[in-house]
Structure 1
Amino acid sequence: MSKPLQGKTAAVTGAASGIGLATTRSLIDAGAKVVLVDYDEESLARIVDELGDNAVGQVTNLLDVDSCAAMVPGILDKVGHLDILHCNAGSYIGGDLVDTDTATIDRMLNLNVNAVMKNVRDVIPHMQERGTGDIIVTASVAGHMPIHWEPVYSGSKWAMTCFVQTMRRQLSKHGIRVGQVSPGPVVSALLADWPEENLRKAKESGALIDPEEVASAVIYMLSRPRTVTIRDMVVLPTNFDI
């Protein structure tokens, strides 16, 4: 079996579930060693034990300023170098803006936007020194169109689309590729806040995809020749009607 990422070292945030866990499994299958970053220490320990020698746990709370700042140094202490950073951790808010409390808005923007920017900022010097690297951000199709029932979430993903496009231009001259994967609705805990009627219709019509489909897209992006950057890969359920 081909191992396109043999010898590479990756870190994935939000790695204990959903897209993060599926991507971690796919990275290991592709030959990479993976640092799984998550705040859920118990789940992380169990998964690392299950995945074996190519899985390394890193307990980080991205919403805690000090823990977030210690993430990249902690990863490098464990594995020495990093070829791939997948900024995947995120949260979701749906519904009308007026019905959303401001503390929840702050939490989501801190996780979906601020933590990603800080993690990328912290890994840049290491990748610049090595003259190579890949940074992948989990964005969303909601970052390409205004989804009226999720204005805060959609706004955060539009921010990520802009961030990825600007950072790709900043970092390409240093041998660092930057791209995003933009899924449609994925079967995961993030859909718990979807309006019930929307979720029911999506399930009935086959308008949801599994996390493994997103992971497959990430592996495709990372396994392209260094002369090619996949800036954005939109991955949609075939019956997703937006």
Structure 2
Amino acid sequence: MTKSMEGKIAAITGAASGIGLATTRALLDAGAKVVMVDYNKSALDKLTAELGPNAVAQVTNLLDAASCSAMVPEILAKVSHIDILHCNAGSYIGGDLIETDTDTIDRMLNLNVNAVMKNVRDVLPHMQARGTGDIIVTASVAGHLPIQWEPVYSASKWAMTCFVQTMRRQLNKQGIRVGQVSPGPVISALLADWPEENLRKAKENGALIEPEEVADAVMYMLTRKRTVTIRDMIVLPTNFDI
């Protein structure tokens, strides 16, 4: 049996588009309040006006150390508590390693790995004091397989798989559930960096999924009884050949 999200408060990073926005909409529909975290203030202003009073804007640049550190305190100044932290923001690098400059590698690893660890670390004292909480990380099927056309991205998601599973074991007796959702290719702006031939084939073969289908998986994870943790949910397009 699923449980209502009435009275729950979630914070979602990368909430202005893609999986983050789809999950925001799903949680709002289920009765939750959602703090939408993103660096794009104009997008947040437009979306929160559209989505109503239960959508709260939080402008944070996760790549800026001061802004990242201020995220959780600023959220808690706007809402009474955080039940759910969905670390969803991320970026993508595809192609051969030699084709990628080192600044781009630093940026992606800082967003996909370091910012997630910082956000989780910063929310933990709050959740531990309350004795409850859910932490979900948007990972990837690339965090389970060595994908040769995306070595940097795949490595970042392998790091997240390790981080999520170690944190789950640290926190599972404190009332805090930790899990990850690992989608295959999702129709989003991130695919703009896919090798053109791979993207063309995926589109032709129906090997892509919509952000809403990943949001469905996140909602399933969040609505289990507190005695159940969905450690990792891999969500693939049926025709994805990997």
**1:129-185: per-residue Cα shift (whole Å, max 9, x none)?**
000000000000000000000000000000000000000000111100000000000
TM-score of the pair, normalised by structure 1: 0.99
**Alpha-carbon distance in 1 for matches of 2:198, 2:8:** 40
SS in 2 for 1:233: strand
Question: Which residue identity does 2:115 align to in structure 1?
Answer: A
Counterpart-to-counterpart distance in 2, 1:3 and 1:136: 17
* Native 8 Å contact 1:3 1:29 kept in 2: no
State the match for 2:192 in structure 1. 192
Alpha-carbon separation, structure 2, partners of 1:3 and 1:48: 25
1:165 maps to amino acid: Q
Cα deviation digits, residues 33-76 of structure 1 (max 9, x gap): 00000000000100000000110000000000000000000001
Q: Which runs of 5+ in 2 are unaligned?
A: none
Whole-angstrom distance in 2 between the partners of 1:172 and 1:131: 11
TM-score, with structure 2 as normaliser: 0.99
Amino acid of the structure 1 residue aligned with 2:76 = L
Matched, 1:157 2:157: yes
Q: CA deviation at 1:16?
A: 0.3
- 2:185 is aligned with what amino acid? P
* Paired residues, number: 241
Distance 2:189 2:44 in 1: 17
Deviations 1:6-26, CA, capped at 9 Å, x for gaps: 110000000000000000000
In structure 2, distance between residues paired with 1:4 and 1:104:
41
- SS of the residue corresponding to residue 93 of structure 1 reads coil
Preserved CA contact (<8 Å) 2:3 2:224:
no
- Which 4+ runs in 1 deviate beyond 3 A? none
CA RMSD in angstroms, aligned pairs only:
0.8
1:169 equivalent to 2:150? Answer no
Alpha-carbon distance, 1:3 to partner: 6.9
Counterpart in 2 of 1:89? Answer: 89
Aligned partner of 1:137 in structure 2 is 137
Letter in 2 for 1:216: D
- Indicate conservation of the 8 Å contact 1:9/1:32, yes or no: yes
Q: Calculate percent identity across the aligned residue pairs.
A: 81
Write out per-residue CA displacement over residues 168-205 of structure 1, whole angstroms, 9 at most, x where no aligned residue. Answer: 00011110000000000000000000011100000000
**Other structure's SS at 2:226 match:** coil
* Residue identity in the other structure for 1:22: A
- Segments of 5+ residues of structure 1 without an aligned counterpart are none
CA deviation after TM superposition for structure 1 residue 121, in Å: 0.1
- State the 1:119 CA deviation: 0.1
Instruction: Provide the rounded CA distance (Å) in 2 between the counterparts of 1:240 and 1:134.
Output: 29
Following the alignment from structure 1 to structure 2, what is the Cα–Cα distance between the partners of residues 227 and 99?
46
